[in-house]
Amino acid sequence: MKKILPVILHTFLCTVACSQTEEEIAAAFVPDVDTQLVENKYEPLVDVMIKMDFKEDFLEHSTIRKNSQPSTSPLVFKHKKSVYLKDKAAFTNAYVSIKSDMLHYRDLDMAYHARDIQFLALRMLRYQFLPDSSEVALAETQFLLALLIEAGAVDLDVLADAYHKVQHLLSPQERTEHFKYLQKCYAKDRQYIADHFPRLKKGYETTTGAERKSYFYLGKRLEKISKTLRYSNDLLQLDTEQKN
**Domain spans in the chain, listed from the N-terminal domain onward:** 1-53+170-244, 60-153
For 40, left (φ over 0), alpha (ψ -120 to 50), or beta?
beta
**CA-based Rg of the chain, rounded to a whole angstrom?**
20
Dihedral sign, Cα of residue 127, residue 131, residue 134, residue 140: positive
DSSP-derived 3-state class of residue 198: helix
Helices (H), the chain: 4-17, 22-28, 45-51, 74-79, 88-124, 135-150, 156-166, 172-206, 209-236
Global confidence as pTM: 0.84
Distance set, CA 175 to CA 58, 157, 225, 233 (Å): 24, 17, 24, 16
pLDDT tens digits, the chain, 244 residues: what are they? 444 444 443 443 344 334 577 889 888 888 876 666 555 555 565 566 667 788 888 888 888 888 888 889 999 999 999 999 999 999 999 999 999 999 999 999 999 999 999 999 999 999 999 999 999 999 999 999 999 999 999 999 999 999 999 999 999 999 999 999 999 999 999 999 999 999 999 999 999 988 998 999 899 899 999 999 999 999 999 998 644 4
Largest CA distance in the chain: 67
- Dist. CA 178–CA 222, nearest whole Å: 25
